[in-house]
Amino acid sequence: MTPETELREQICRIAKSLFDRGLTSGASGNISARLPDGGLLVTPTGVSLGMLDPGRLTRLDAGGRYVDGDKPTKELPLHAAFYETRQAKAGAVVHLHSTHSVALSMLPETDPDNVLPPLTPYSIMRLGKVKLLPFFRPGDAAMGEAIRGLAGKRSAVLLANHGPVVAAKDLEAAAFAMEELEETARLALLTRGMKPNMLTEAQIRQVVEHFNVEWD
């Protein structure tokens, strides 16, 4: 099995797992992953993540030009911006419409510079600070420009009234980080108004320094 065939199978397997566990629904959400030659495999537009066909994923070359497969997701500019600005750190990008993350994006008290409260060390380890971006029409190329405006300093963002986007070194890491984001958003909503004991600044710093987390 070639590396490309393996990656095609992995994309479909992880996508179905995310869909089956309710982290995205209908034909929402999209995934991309970088190939060894610098090209990309991208999930097609209008297709459920639970029903992907490995042979029909969109193939792009290293310059972002279409090679073959179905028409790519309309959110491709969003993915491309992460690959451009994070380069060696971004081997895959996952974008979902997960319920608790979207809900958190709509609350006026959510901190736009760091949407996730410091409830667990794992959200810090896997995500760093998650930036809240304003609302954009789905498919709007301005989303990519907003990502470029972060200059590669964030591995994850939350699009207001839309959903989270996570970039990581590979597809498995991106999926794990996405799950952590959604679970932490869920915890934040469950404990809202209850004054939970959050991690202290000293505890956060300990995690950041020990695991070499991007935290600026």
Concatenating the DSSP letter of every residue in 18-69 gives HHHTTSS-TT--EEEEE-TTS-EEEPBTT--TTS--GGGSEEE-TTS-EEES
The pLDDT of residue 1 is: 79
Q: Could you confirm whether 122 is annotated as catalytic?
A: yes
What the chain holds in terms of domains, given with CATH numbers, is 3-210 (3.40.225.10)
The tokens of 148 are what?
């470029």
Arithmetic mean of pLDDT over the chain: 96
Residue 33 pLDDT > 90: yes
Q: What is the pLDDT of residues 104-160, one digit of tens each?
A: 999 999 999 999 999 999 999 999 999 999 999 999 999 999 999 999 999 999 999
The share of the chain scoring above pLDDT 70, in percent, equals 100
The pLDDT of residue 62 is: 93
Catalytic hit among 4, 6, 75, 214:
75
Residue 93 pLDDT > 90: yes
The tokens of 126 are what?
């896997």
Q: What is the pLDDT of residues 176-216, one digit of tens each?
A: 999 999 999 999 999 999 999 999 999 999 999 999 999 87
Q: What is the pLDDT of residues 64-89, one digit of tens each?
A: 999 999 999 999 999 999 999 998 89
Q: What angle do CA 73, 142, 7 make, to 5 degrees?
A: 30
Catalytic hit among 6, 83, 84, 122:
122
The pLDDT of residue 102 is: 98
Q: What is the pLDDT of residues 94-107, one digit of tens each?
A: 999 999 999 999 99
Q: Could you confirm whether 75 is annotated as catalytic?
A: yes
The share of the chain scoring above pLDDT 90, in percent, equals 97
Other beta carbons within 10 Å of 203: 13
The pLDDT of residue 216 is: 78
The pLDDT of residue 122 is: 96
The pLDDT of residue 184 is: 98
